[in-house]
């Protein structure tokens, strides 16, 4: 169960001015229907303790079998593609099934602009698209006033000050999902949603769910919605 697909394809993208690696695997698992079955039976939570400040939807915990298979089948990528030192150990955080459920007018301010997951080096996000369908994707961005694409601990204060100054001067962003470039942020790469596509990227990079058709993408049903699984990965 959850074996790698022998016909998978892999692509490492180096994106933006900061040359950030983003790794994509298509046709990742031979059969992941058990994960979808599991996701359809779960209860999803919308509170910020479960979902976080940035995700515009609901989440439920990933089961052990599927979660362990994801981690086992991706561990080598971090050392090879992202140059994680071999002596460091992988620690998974917050494995969840996720569904985008917020309509544009329900979005919080922080959900209308790109975000970073955290500022720590050697931390990553792992994303596995599950359901059949065309559900936008994931966008990666540059903050125009600073030129930052990754928000590290050293950059965080300056970035937050600059972003707030821009909002103070120009007003809040429109209450909608960010997709293409704006006056404040520049889209530097979009990775399309594709069933059984795996995407891995550093937690420091500015990104957002690319919801270009909310009528299609916003759905509370794990059977028909924009279902993905997500892990946060850290090494120490």
For 135-159, write each residue's pLDDT tens digit: 999 999 999 999 999 999 999 999 9
Q: Mean pLDDT over residues 124-133, rounded? A: 97
Q: Mean pLDDT over residues 117-128, rounded? A: 97
Percent of the chain's residues with pLDDT above 90? 96
| pLDDT interval class at 11 (50, 70, 90) | very high
Residue 26 CB neighbours (<10 A): 16
| pLDDT interval class at 195 (50, 70, 90) | very high
How far is residue 11's CA from residue 192's CA, in Å, rounded to a whole number?
A: 13
CA torsion through residues 143, 234, 78, 3, sign = negative
Q: What is the pLDDT of residue 218?
A: 96
Closest CA to 100 of 126, 141, 129: 129
What are the DSSP calls for 3-62, one per residue? Answer: PBPTT-EEEEEEETTTTEEEEEEES-BS--HHHHHHHHTSPPB-SHHHH-SS-SEEEEEP
How far is residue 196's CA from residue 20's CA, in Å, rounded to a whole number?
A: 23
How far is residue 68's CA from residue 231's CA, in Å, rounded to a whole number?
A: 11
Q: What is the pLDDT of residue 200?
A: 98
How far is residue 23's CA from residue 25's CA, in Å, rounded to a whole number?
A: 7
Q: Which one-letter DSSP state was computed for residue 4?
A: B
- Tell whether the model's pLDDT for residue 24 goes beyond 90: yes
Per residue in 48-74, pLDDT tens?
A: 877 888 999 999 999 999 999 999 999
Non-local (6+) Cβ contacts of 40 within 8 A are 222, 223
In degrees, rounded to 5, the angle at the alpha carbon of residue 22 between the alpha carbons of residues 83 and 206 is: 110
Per residue in 73-120, pLDDT tens?
A: 999 999 999 999 999 999 998 899 999 999 999 999 999 999 999 999
Query: What integer best gives the mean pLDDT of the chain?
Result: 96
**Which of 45-59, 142-156, 159-173, 209-223 is predicted least confidently?**
45-59
Q: What is the pLDDT of residue 50?
A: 79
Residue 150 β-bridge partners? 205
Q: 9-235 architecture in CATH? A: Sandwich (2.60)
Percent of the chain's residues with pLDDT above 70? 100
Non-local (6+) Cβ contacts of 125 within 8 A are 117, 200, 201, 202, 203, 230, 231, 232, 233
| pLDDT interval class at 1 (50, 70, 90) | confident
């Amino acid at each position: 169960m959850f074996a790698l697909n022998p016909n998978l394809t892999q692509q490492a993208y180096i994106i933006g001015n900061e040359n950030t690696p983003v790794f994509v695997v298509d046709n990742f698992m031979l059969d992941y229907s058990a994960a979808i079955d599991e996701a359809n039976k779960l209860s999803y939570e919308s509170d910020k303790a479960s979902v976080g400040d940035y995700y515009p939807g609901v989440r439920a915990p990933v089961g052990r079998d599927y979660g362990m298979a994801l981690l086992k089948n991706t561990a080598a990528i971090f050392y090879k593609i992202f140059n994680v030192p071999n002596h460091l150990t992988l620690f998974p955080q917050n494995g969840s099934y996720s569904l985008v459920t917020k309509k544009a007018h329900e979005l919080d301010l922080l959900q209308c602009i790109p975000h970073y997951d955290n500022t720590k080096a050697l931390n990553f996000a792992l994303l596995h698209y599950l359901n059949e369908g065309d559900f936008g994707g994931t966008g990666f961005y540059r903050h125009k006033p600073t030129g930052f694409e990754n928000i590290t601990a050293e950059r965080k204060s300056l970035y937050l000050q600059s972003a707030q100054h821009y909002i103070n001067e120009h007003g809040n962003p429109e209450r909608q999902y960010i997709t293409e470039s704006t006056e404040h942020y520049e889209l530097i790469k979009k990775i399309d949603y594709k069933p059984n596509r795996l995407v891995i990227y550093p937690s420091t990079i500015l990104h957002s769910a690319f919801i270009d058709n909310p009528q299609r993408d916003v759905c509370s049903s794990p059977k028909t919605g924009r279902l993905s699984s997500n892990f946060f990965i850290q090494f120490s």
